[in-house]
A and B are shown apart, each in its own frame.
Chain A
Amino acid sequence: MIARLTAGVSRRAAVALALLSAALLIAPWVVNDYLLTILILILYFAYTGQAWNIMMGFAGQLSLGHALYIGLGGYVAATLFTRFGVAPWLGLLAAMPVAALCGAIVGYLAFRFGVTGVYFAILTIAFAEFARIGFDHWDFVNATSGLFLPVKQYTHNDLWRLRGDPTMFYYVILAATAAALLLCQLLIRSRTGYFWRAIREDERAARAVGVDAFRYKMIAVMVSAAVTAFAGVFYAFFYNNLFPEQVFSLPRSIEIILGPVIGGIGTLFGPILGAFVLTGLAETLNSALTAFGVDLPGVTQVFYGLCLLIVIAALPDGVWPPLARRLGLSEDKK
C-alpha cells in the first residue's frame, strides 16, 4: 500500500507537494481572516472536485447533479444534530451511506436501462432537481424556511461537535482534502481504478475483455457520492444553515464541476489546482472591480464567464497537464 501511495510520483513532485502542504499548514498564522475564509472555500472546492473526479475523471461518467450528494450529506448530519444531538462525525457515518445509496439508485436506474452520455448527465440533474423541490415541501426539515444550526460565541473549539472558529474549520477541510488526494492516488492505482479507466476509454472493449462494467460504474458512483457527502456535512456546520434552494440547486452542481474541468479532468492534482485558479480568479475580480468603484450586480460574473470561455477554448485538457509538463512534474500517463 505504501508502494502504491508513492507510485508514479517523481521526487520533484513529492518535494513540490511537501512545500505546498507546509505552506497550507502554516497559512492560518500568516493570513488574515478574509484570506482564511477564501482558503477554506478553495479547499472545499478542491475536495468536492476530487470527489466528482472519481466518477467523471476516473470512470468517465458525467454527473451534473452532484449537489444532490452535498445536500443529502448536509441535511442528514444537520437533522441528526439539531433534532437528536448526534455529533457530526457520527452523523457522517449516516450521511455517507445515504448519499451512496442515492448514488446507487441513480446509477442502477441509468446503467441497467442503458442511459448513457448526455442522457445520463441530464438524469443526474433531474434527480438533484427532484430532491430540491422535494425538500422544499418536506416539513420535517423545515421546507423552504431552511434548517439552522445553533450558533453562539465559543470559548474553545469543539472539534467533536464541529463548533468553533474558522481556523478549526480550515484544518478540518485541509485534512479532508489531503485524505481525498491519498484516496484518489490509492484508487487510481488499484485494480478497480484500472477497470474504471478501461471503461472510460472504451466501455465495449472493456466489457469484451471481461470487465463487469455495470459493477465498476456502480462502485464509482457510490464512492464519489459518499466522498461528496462529507463536503455537505462540512458545508452545513461551517455555514450553519441549509436551504434546499441553495444546496441542491444546479449552480451548486456546476460549481463543483468547474474546478476539475479547468484544472484537468482525470488527473490527481487538476481538481486542486482548478479550485485555486477559479476561486482566486473570482476573488481577484471582486476586489479589482471594487477598487475601480464598479458596483453593479453581475459584473463580476460576466468577467468570470468570459475568463472561463477563454480558458476552455485555449486549454481543452485543463491547466494542469501543460503546466505539469512545463514544471517537469508530470503524472505518468493515465
Chain B
Amino acid sequence: MPFAVYLNVAVGGVLTGLVYGLMALGLSVIFGVVRVVNFAHGEMMTIAMFIAVVLFAWFHIDPLIMLVPIAAVLFVFGYALQAALINPFVRRPEHSQFLLLVALAIVISNALLIIFGPDARSVQTAYAYQSFQLGPLIIDAAKGYAGLAAIVFTAALFAFFRATPIGTAIRACADNYTGAQVVGLNVKQLYALTFGLGAACVGAAGTMLTLIVDTTPMVGPSYTLLAFVIVITGGLGSMPGALIGGVLIGLTEALAGLLFTPSAKSMFAFAILVLVLLLRPYGILGRRPS
C-alpha cells in the first residue's frame, strides 16, 4: 500500500481520536474532582446522540449547530443527577458507586431502546461525502469538522477551569476536599457543576460522533469502555492526558483496522491500556495519588 494511504488513515484516526478524547475528558473531569468513576458515561453519550439524530431527522438541523444546545441539555442532566443521586454516594466504597451507575446505565439504555427501538440511525449531512485535499492528504469533511469542534470545546473548558472563579473553586475541591469546605466552598454544588460539565463534554462529543458513526441504543457500554481505556492511558484526572489518550487510541484503532481487521481493532486499544498500566500505572500524564 502506498504511504499516502497510511497517512490518510492516520489523519482520520487522529480526528476521530479528538472526539473520543473530548468524551473521555468528561470522565476524567468527573473522576478528577468528584472521585466517582462514571460507569454510565457511554449511556449518557447515547442520549446526546439520539437528541442529535432526532433533531436532524425531524427538522434537518445540522449537528454542528446543535453542539452547544445539546451540551447544555446534558449539563442540566448531569447536574441534576449528581445533586439528586450521586452526592450521597461520594463517600461510599467503590463497588457501591459502581452498582449505582451500572443501574443507571441499564435504565438509560433500555429506556432509549423502548423509545427508539433497536435500529441503527444515522445523520446524512450535505457534506457527508465531501473531503478536503491538502497535497497527498484527503481529509473527510465530517471528521474534520468534528475534530475541530472537539478542539474548540476542549479549549473552552480549559479556559473555564483556569480563568474563572468557579473553575478555580472546582480545582480547589479536587485538590483538597476538607480545605475547600473550610474556606466555605459549597462542595456539593461544585460537585454537581463538575458532573454537569463532564456530561456536557459527552453531550458535545456524542453530537459530533453522529457525523462519524451510526447510533443505536446499545452502543453505550462499548463507549464507556473506550472512555476508560482512554483516560487510564492518558492519566485519570488529567485533562491534557484525556486528549492525548484519545488521539493515541483513535490512531491505534485506525491503523489496526487497516493493517489487521477492523473487528480486532479494540484489542489493540486494550493492549495499549495494559502496556501503559504496567509501565506507568497512573497513565501517561497522571500523577500517583498521594
**Contacting A302 at CB < 8 Å: which of B31, B94, B114, B273?**
B114
- Chain A residue nearest to B280 (CB atoms) is A113
Contact A130 B107 (CB under 8 A): no
In the bound assembly, the distance between CA atoms of A188 and B263 in angstroms comes to 43
Interface size on B, as a range, is: 35 or more
In the bound assembly, the distance between CA atoms of A302 and B43 in angstroms comes to 13
**Which of chain B's residues 213-242 have a Cβ closer than 8 Å to chain A?**
217, 221, 225, 228-229, 232, 236
- Chain B residue nearest to A261 (CB atoms) is B99
The verdict on A305 contacting B221 (CB below 8 Å), with A130-B267, A137-B263 known, is no
A-side contacts of B277, CB under 8 Å? 109-110, 113, 115, 119, 123, 126
Interface size on A, as a range, is: 35 or more
Is B154 close to A, CB under 8 A?
Answer: no
A-side contacts of B88, CB under 8 Å? 313
The verdict on A301 contacting B281 (CB below 8 Å), with A134-B267, A312-B96 known, is no
In the bound assembly, the distance between CA atoms of A251 and B218 in angstroms comes to 12
B-side contacts of A313, CB under 8 Å? 85, 88, 100
Interface string of B60-72 (1 = CB under 8 A from A): 0000000000000
In the bound assembly, the distance between CA atoms of A121 and B101 in angstroms comes to 15
Is B57 close to A, CB under 8 A?
Answer: no
B-side contacts of A234, CB under 8 Å? none
Contact B95 A265 (CB under 8 A): yes
**Contacting A305 at CB < 8 Å: which of B37, B92, B104, B236?**
B104
Is B98 close to A, CB under 8 A?
Answer: yes
Is B191 close to A, CB under 8 A?
Answer: no
Is B266 close to A, CB under 8 A?
Answer: yes
- Chain B residue nearest to A117 (CB atoms) is B94
A-side contacts of B95, CB under 8 Å? 56, 62, 257, 261, 265
Contact A306 B270 (CB under 8 A): no
Interface string of A251-270 (1 = CB under 8 A from B): 10010011001100100000
Contact B264 A133 (CB under 8 A): yes
Contact A129 B266 (CB under 8 A): yes
**Contacting B232 at CB < 8 Å: which of A119, A130, A250?**
A119
In the bound assembly, the distance between CA atoms of A56 and B113 in angstroms comes to 33
In the bound assembly, the distance between CA atoms of A261 and B118 in angstroms comes to 30
Is B5 close to A, CB under 8 A?
Answer: no
CB distance from A10 to the nearest CB of B (A): 28
B-side contacts of A299, CB under 8 Å? 110, 114
In the bound assembly, the distance between CA atoms of A123 and B274 in angstroms comes to 7
Contact B114 A296 (CB under 8 A): yes
In the bound assembly, the distance between CA atoms of A130 and B270 in angstroms comes to 6
CB distance from A282 to the nearest CB of B (A): 11
Interface string of A46-70 (1 = CB under 8 A from B): 0000000000100000101000000
CB distance from B114 to the nearest CB of A (A): 5
Contact B94 A62 (CB under 8 A): yes
A-side contacts of B258, CB under 8 Å? none
Is B106 close to A, CB under 8 A?
Answer: yes
- Chain B residue nearest to A310 (CB atoms) is B103
Contact A305 B103 (CB under 8 A): yes
B-side contacts of A251, CB under 8 Å? 221
Is B282 close to A, CB under 8 A?
Answer: yes
Count: A-B pairs, CB below 8 Å: 122
Contact B37 A301 (CB under 8 A): no
CB distance from A110 to the nearest CB of B (A): 8
The verdict on A254 contacting B111 (CB below 8 Å), with A114-B281, A126-B229, A130-B274 known, is no
In the bound assembly, the distance between CA atoms of A45 and B250 in angstroms comes to 37
Is B155 close to A, CB under 8 A?
Answer: no
Is B261 close to A, CB under 8 A?
Answer: yes
In the bound assembly, the distance between CA atoms of A118 and B95 in angstroms comes to 9
The verdict on A118 contacting B37 (CB below 8 Å), with A254-B102, A297-B118, A298-B111 known, is yes
In the bound assembly, the distance between CA atoms of A137 and B260 in angstroms comes to 11
Is B159 close to A, CB under 8 A?
Answer: no
A-side contacts of B225, CB under 8 Å? 125, 129, 250
Is A127 close to B, CB under 8 A?
Answer: yes
B-side contacts of A123, CB under 8 Å? 273-274, 277
In the bound assembly, the distance between CA atoms of A257 and B106 in angstroms comes to 15
CB distance from B111 to the nearest CB of A (A): 6
A-side contacts of B96, CB under 8 Å? 261, 312, 316
Pick the most buried of A113, A125, A297, A298: most chain B CB atoms within 10 A of its CB. Answer: A298
**Which of chain A's residues 284-311 have a Cβ closer than 8 Å to chain B?**
296-299, 301-302, 304-306, 308-309
- In addition to A119-B236, A313-B88, 17 A-B residue pairs with Cβ atoms within 8 Å of each other are A62-B94, A64-B98, A109-B277, A109-B278, A118-B37, A121-B94, A122-B232, A126-B270, A127-B274, A130-B267, A133-B263, A136-B264, A137-B261, A137-B267, A298-B111, A302-B110, A302-B111
Q: Can you list 24 A-B pairs with a CB-CB distance of less than 8 A?
A: A109-B278, A114-B281, A115-B277, A121-B94, A122-B228, A129-B225, A129-B266, A130-B271, A136-B263, A137-B261, A250-B225, A257-B95, A257-B99, A296-B114, A297-B114, A298-B111, A299-B114, A301-B107, A301-B110, A305-B103, A305-B105, A305-B110, A308-B106, A313-B100
8 closest Cβ pairs, A-B complex: A305-B106, A308-B103, A298-B110, A305-B107, A298-B113, A301-B110, A133-B267, A309-B103
B residues near A (Cβ < 8 Å) are 31, 37, 85, 88, 92, 94-96, 98-100, 102-107, 109-111, 113-114, 118, 217, 221, 225, 228-229, 232, 236, 261, 263-264, 266-267, 270-271, 273-274, 277-278, 281-282
